[in-house]
Amino acid sequence: MHFLKDIPRFVFLTGMGGVGKTSLACAMAVQLADQGRRVLLVSTDPASNIGQVFSQPIGNSITAIEGVTGLDALEIDPEAAAGNYRERLLAPLRGTVPEEELRSATEQLSGACTTEIAAFDEFTALLTDEALSAAYEHVVFDTAPTGHTIRLLRLPGAWSGFLETGQGDASCLGPLAGLERQRERYRLAVAALSDPGRTRLVLVARADRASLREVARTRHELAEIGISGQHLVVNGLLPQREAQSDALAEAIYEREQAALAELPEGLEGVQLDSVELQALNMLGAGNLRRLLGGDSATPKTMPELPAGPEPPGISGILDDIASAGHGLVMLMGKGGVGKTTMAAAIAVELASRGLPVHLTTTDPAAHIEETVATLPGNMKLSRIDPQVETENYRQRVLATKGKGLDSDALAMLEEDLRSPCTEEVAVFQAFARVIREAGRSFVVMDTAPTGHTLLLLDATGAYHREVTRQMSGSGMQVSTPMMQLQDPARTRILIVTLAETTPVLEAEALQNDLRRAGIEPAGWIVNRSLAATQTQSELLQRRAIAEHREIARVADLSNGNYAVVPLQAEEPVGSERLQILLGSRRSTAQS
């Protein structure tokens, strides 16, 4: 495979959620270590699961991988990084400044922006640390889904430019104070990222149009910031032999081949490799070695199908949502589990029942327009685009706070608004604005993959704490976005997952995070289930049998509030197919 040849020091694997970045990153790291190299495997995903792949705790410190000589791993934990970052900045202030000033500084450092910058600080250290350079020949980065990763890779240049021109009075004063001391590190990080002799970007996709469009867009955006050493890997490709005697497998194979035959504009000339779909989950070093070694990970005997009742369909969840007449419905989960499709399907179904619906997304990589295609008359569509919202926010602030300022003060305000931290505030305000509509209609929200969504909820929580602190003792009633999310009569959060080990583990962690924030999920949706089909393909049957254990686990974790949606023979695009997906319409295609 071309992407495995002449591997430079740094390798980044990126792409939409659910395309197999983690499996490929772990397999590449194992292969390099087996060749006698010293390798560090790093996850920059706030919802990292490389520890699950190797069945051992890793966390925010370099840890040796058991059974793989020469391989260490690190999961950049945003919360742990933020805690260490805050302590470094606050420690010198204790005992030297008034208590009120210390409380103010602590509050400034409590937001999601500080969390992101702290994780970013660790990321740039990995690119520039001389001790790490001496210890490891390769650093393999398993990154967060595309939108979050592009922002991460843009940050070295963004912060360098901001520090070159800024006056030091940014909206995120705490992060800026630390960043100012790192100017040279960011310059070196930019140089490393833009040098194809030192950095390779592996774009990972599935053989479907949405995934390939996303890597084409990513390739363009990364080229704009000087990252040009790019390879494309199409992962999980169904082999032709499986399409010989099964209608579902044949439909999947033909759909994948059609997508590869019509690569989107922007992927011309890119070096393309493919990796076959495996019968087993990519857990453990043995299966990872087979993934890139060309050997099948298929066992010789077919396991027995577990006995038990048929899993429930989604009609019960839909009827419960519709009965409220209005409210916020949020779809959350790991990238690539089909949140966009499920959000679009639920929105279309509610609209078909005559209810007013606003479908929106916080995911920069979502393709909700293409998924819905033709909108019903009582349904509208929008997206919370970070770049658009940030520019709108800057213009509003300049038109209000900037009104009447002299030239020096206006220049300082403009410098403040050029801080990358401004995006956090802008996106949160757009989020709060959209969910206010849920008091009079349905708002169905497709969210960004788990880690990015949790950062948004962190910002929501920080705003809630600040408002309640300011209003304490005033006797006034206050309602914050967090209070709406915590109210099950106003908000229904549906966790979307696949019947696979890693997505279910991540969904469980998401549910625990939500509960700690006082938010109880309304139910789970197991999407694209092979166990809910009648496939005759041996490879797909093996995967279907393996799903039953995970579906049983979902039933337990959700307290029975779950539904299973089958994998479709036809891609669920357009209002009619979205309703077929939910069982609202009949299809002549086998599913």
For 261, counting Cβ atoms within 10 Å of its Cβ (0-12 exposed, 13-18 middle, 19+ buried), the class is: exposed
C-alpha to C-alpha distance for 122 and 127, rounded to whole angstroms: 9
Residue in 17, 18, 70, 333 annotated catalytic = 18
Check if 45 is active-site: yes
Helix axes 146-165, 112-128, angle to 10 degrees: 90
For the record, the structure tokens of 74 come out as 């690190």
What does the angle CA 141 – CA 143 – CA 149 come to, to the nearest 5 degrees? Answer: 125
What does the angle CA 68 – CA 73 – CA 78 come to, to the nearest 5 degrees? Answer: 160
Task: Compute the residue count for the chain.
Answer: 591
For the CA atoms of 273, 277, 282, 288, what is the dihedral angle to 10 degrees?
-40
Q: Would you say the C-alpha torsion 59, 62, 67, 71 has a positive or negative sign?
A: positive
Residue in 14, 15, 17, 21 annotated catalytic = 21
111, 423 in Cβ contact below 8 A? Answer: no
C-alpha to C-alpha distance for 132 and 153, rounded to whole angstroms: 20
Half-sphere exposure (CA, 13 Å, Cβ side) for 131? 1
Check if 20 is active-site: yes
Residue in 15, 44, 45, 218 annotated catalytic = 45
582, 345 in Cβ contact below 8 A? Answer: yes
Check if 23 is active-site: yes
Residue in 14, 15, 17, 22 annotated catalytic = 22
Letter string b/e over residues 534-551, b meaning 16 or more CB atoms within 10 A of that residue's CB: ebebbbbbbbbbbbbebb
C-alpha to C-alpha distance for 70 and 284, rounded to whole angstroms: 16
427, 386 in Cβ contact below 8 A? Answer: yes
C-alpha to C-alpha distance for 316 and 324, rounded to whole angstroms: 13
CA distances to 102, 104, 262 from 473, in Å? 22, 19, 63
483, 463 in Cβ contact below 8 A? Answer: no
* DSSP string for residues in 319-354: HHHHHTSSEEEEEE-STTS-HHHHHHHHHHHHHHTT
C-alpha to C-alpha distance for 515 and 287, rounded to whole angstroms: 34
Provide the pairing of β-strand 327-332 with 442-446.
parallel
Residue in 15, 17, 23, 419 annotated catalytic = 23
Residue in 390, 502, 529, 537 annotated catalytic = 502
First vs last C-alpha separation in the chain: 34
Residue in 14, 15, 17, 20 annotated catalytic = 20
Check if 21 is active-site: yes
81, 175 in Cβ contact below 8 A? Answer: no
Q: How many CB atoms lie within 10 A of CB 191?
A: 15
308, 549 in Cβ contact below 8 A? Answer: no
For 346, counting Cβ atoms within 10 Å of its Cβ (0-12 exposed, 13-18 middle, 19+ buried), the class is: buried
332, 450 in Cβ contact below 8 A? Answer: yes
Residues annotated as catalytic are: 18, 20-23, 45, 502
